[in-house]
Chain A
Amino acid sequence: MKTGFTDPVLDAQAGFRALMQAMARPGRVQQVIPPPELPAGLEAAAAATILTLADAETPLWTDAGEEARAWITFHTGAPLVAEPASAMLLLNTGATMPALATLHAGEDETPQDGATLIRQVTGLAEGSGWRLTGPGIEREHHLAVMGVPGDFPAQWRANAARFPRGVDVVLCAGGRLAALPRSVALREGG
């Protein structure tokens, strides 16, 4: 079994601060402290996010391979669920992404129950791509994301339209991550 964080207390704290910054400043790319070993199919940022957030209280769905699944269970104790709709955390590493509309979005009185989708992508770059506005953004941020479905912006618009219900997304590429809280508005190009 591959190891988890070198220092489970302080590395989780650092991982959380990266996530907190990412969620508070949508479109700004953050760096994580990579776990020293990674199971096949998982990159550093996605792995660190899972180690930071998942535990026995978080039903987790993933399409990652057998080694990654065993690694998650061993290090976090998170119960793995088969249906994306019943997950609180989703770790998505494959080519297809579960449709945002099918994930748990919380209820009107409890929108915080909306799921968090952690999507491993192939590239993240600030300064170009999607134009993001909303809480956490002074004027606008630009974020280019490689490796999400072409209809992601349309899915995102539908997600944002049901605010405060909705799904939050963490995009991970290598050892870097950026977040899209449901409050952010996304427009394609320029």
Chain B
Amino acid sequence: MTASAHMQAPDTDPGYNFAYLDEATKRMIRRTLLKAIAIPGHQIPFGAREMPLPYGWGTGGIQVTASILGPDDTLKVIDQGADDTTNAVSIRRFFHRVAGVRTTTRTAEATIIQTRHRIPERPLTEGQVMVFQVPMPEPLFKLEPRLAETRRLHALGDYSLAQVKLYEDIARQGEGGSSYSHPVMVNHRYLMSPSPIPGFDNPKLHMSPALMLFGAGREKKIYAVPPYTSVVSLDFDDHPFRPVRAPHACAACGSTTSYLDEIVTDDRGGRMFVCSDTDHCAENQMARKAAE
């Protein structure tokens, strides 16, 4: 797929309300979103609906997108950084069908970007909203599965469980933290799961010009990070959080700064590395061609 692919907006499917959800559901989600923005990083339970796509496929993100999307928007959907992975294609088709909205693969053109597992490489702008699909919104769930208890810990701002875990990891392995879904402190108050993005993307959340919305359908939670908000990966002064990428250049565009997918090319240890962000890679390739 080329970077400039614009899909024609068809007429909306007449069998469904604009963007599928009924208006009462949208209002409920919209009220939740406003409170989520007002309390950065705080998870708010919401009456998630049963969507025609399976739980785990992005039903939370889809409900958030459906509640904010309008006819003037241009929607981009990515999974693993790519626009043409099957689930991204499927979700883009869904909104194309039920909202007739303009879609794009170009990060620069998008007003709403729904994503699973990545934040685009191209810096986001004030005109953009990110919508994250979230499987497990609770950053403490591996340490304390009981929601009644984690809710209490968030109210107290007691994150010692997470700090002790990080300390133990460092003591045992020499480095700490999860390589993805690494928890962040938002606005110095709430510990938050950034969704399963690689740690490499965590710094992009900090003081971003774009609004970040997070939807967890199965777990029925919504949370948000407003633009220009402090987002700090959980770490210790003597073991600062370190975003990691594969130490290679992209085989397609030559980038040495983008996050890379590792591709197995044969059964004798052959490996190739290419950008996970397909739009970014295509832009780099075009720029390289233009320079030649």
A136 an interface residue at 8 Å Cβ cutoff?
A: yes
Beta-carbon contacts under 8 Å, A15-56 to B: 16-17, 19-20, 23-25, 52-53, 55
> Interface residues of A, CB < 8 Å — how many?
35
Q: Which of B137-145, B148-156, B169-177, B258-266 contacts A (4 or more CB under 8 A)?
A: B148-156
B51 an interface residue at 8 Å Cβ cutoff?
A: no
What B residues does A73 contact at CB under 8 A? Answer: none
Interface digits, A4-21 against B, CB 8 Å rule (1 contact, 0 not)? 000011101110110110
B229's partner among A10, A112, A136 (CB-CB below 8 A) is A136
**In the complex, what distance in Å separates the CA atom of A23 from the CA atom of B34?**
7
Residue from B34, B154, B190 whose CB has the most chain A CB atoms within 10 Å: B34
**Shortest Cβ gap from A84 to chain B (Å):** 18
**Shortest Cβ gap from B159 to chain A (Å):** 15
B90 an interface residue at 8 Å Cβ cutoff?
A: no
**In the complex, what distance in Å separates the CA atom of A43 from the CA atom of B31?**
21
B131 an interface residue at 8 Å Cβ cutoff?
A: no
A164 an interface residue at 8 Å Cβ cutoff?
A: yes
Known: A17-B70, A53-B31. A12 touches B38 (CB 8 A): no
B38's partner among A52, A138, A168 (CB-CB below 8 A) is A168
A58 an interface residue at 8 Å Cβ cutoff?
A: yes
CB-based contact B68/A58 at 8 Å: no
Q: Which of B16-24, B78-86, B280-288 contacts A (4 or more CB under 8 A)?
A: B16-24
**Shortest Cβ gap from A145 to chain B (Å):** 18
A10's partner among B35, B70, B189, B226 (CB-CB below 8 A) is B70
Chain A residue, CB-CB nearest to B211: A24
Chain B residue, CB-CB nearest to A57: B28
**Shortest Cβ gap from A16 to chain B (Å):** 5
Chain B residue, CB-CB nearest to A58: B31
B32 an interface residue at 8 Å Cβ cutoff?
A: yes
CB-based contact A164/B226 at 8 Å: no
> Interface residues of B, CB < 8 Å — how many?
43
CB-based contact A20/B152 at 8 Å: no
CB-based contact A116/B70 at 8 Å: no
CB-based contact B68/A20 at 8 Å: yes
**In the complex, what distance in Å separates the CA atom of A10 from the CA atom of B23?**
10
A104 an interface residue at 8 Å Cβ cutoff?
A: no
Q: Which of B2-10, B39-47, B245-253 contacts A (4 or more CB under 8 A)?
A: B39-47
**Shortest Cβ gap from A4 to chain B (Å):** 12
CB-based contact A168/B226 at 8 Å: no
What B residues does A138 contact at CB under 8 A? Answer: 207, 209, 227-228
B42's partner among A19, A24, A58, A112 (CB-CB below 8 A) is A112
List 8 other contacts, CB 8 Å, given A12-B23, A13-B18, A20-B34.
A8-B23, A13-B26, A13-B68, A53-B34, A112-B32, A112-B35, A135-B187, A136-B228
Residues of B bordering A, CB below 8 Å:
17-18, 23-24, 26-28, 30-40, 42, 44, 67-71, 126, 151-152, 154-156, 187, 189-190, 207, 209, 211, 225-230
* Between-chain CB contacts (< 8 Å), 29 pairs: A9-B17, A9-B18, A13-B18, A13-B26, A13-B70, A14-B70, A16-B26, A24-B226, A24-B227, A25-B126, A53-B30, A53-B31, A55-B24, A57-B24, A109-B152, A111-B42, A112-B32, A135-B225, A135-B226, A135-B229, A135-B230, A136-B229, A138-B209, A138-B227, A164-B189, A164-B190, A168-B34, A181-B37, A181-B39
List the 4 closest pairs (A to B, CB-CB), nearest first.
Answer: A181-B38, A108-B155, A136-B226, A135-B229
Residues of A bordering B, CB below 8 Å:
8-10, 12-14, 16-17, 19-20, 23-25, 52-53, 55, 57-58, 108-109, 111-112, 114, 116, 134-138, 163-164, 168, 181-183
